[in-house]
Amino acid sequence: MGDPELDSLREKRRRELLAQSLKKDLAQKKREEELAKAKERQIRATRIVNSVLEPDAIVYMNWLSKNNPAIAQTIKDTIIMLMYKNMIERKLTKIDLMRIERELTGKEPVIKVKRRGREETDLDDTLKKGSK
């Protein structure tokens, strides 16, 4: 019928392909499990963080997570660390989150002034114009 040597080579190649396929399947399953674990950790972290935030702060954190995920993650990590060290004595407000965000980004707080018929300006600029 067939050449025994050729049949053995075909069988060997078939086993190699099957082994490669199994390795790929295992690697894919492992990646999926790691992604699921990471997602679960993120959900747990969000629940923990939300437990110490007031409702308006939760809304702001969700907005921040969509618009600036790196800063939001840093804030969440900071809050979890502070909780771990028992340094949070009260629920955090939206203002507290904004203050932490400003410190992380290096922005200074700005007060805006709007007068009738004029554009909105910074209080700092308004005071400088008034002293001249």
Rg (CA), the chain: 29
% of the chain surpassing 70 pLDDT: 95
Cβ within 8 Å of residue 114, ≥6 positions away:
120, 121
Helix (H) or strand (E) holding 122: strand 121-122
Cα–Cα distance for residue pair 11/18, rounded to 1 Å: 10
- For residue 45, pLDDT beyond 70: yes
User: What average pLDDT does the segment 74-97 reach?
Assistant: 90
Sign of the CA dihedral 34, 36, 39, 44? negative
- For residue 83, pLDDT beyond 60: yes
The length of the chain in residues reads 132
Helix (H) or strand (E) holding 69: helix 69-84
Tokens 């702001």 correspond to what residue? 60
- DSSP assigned state of 103: H
Question: pTM for the whole thing?
Answer: 0.61
User: Looking at this protein, which amino acid is placed at residue 77?
Assistant: D
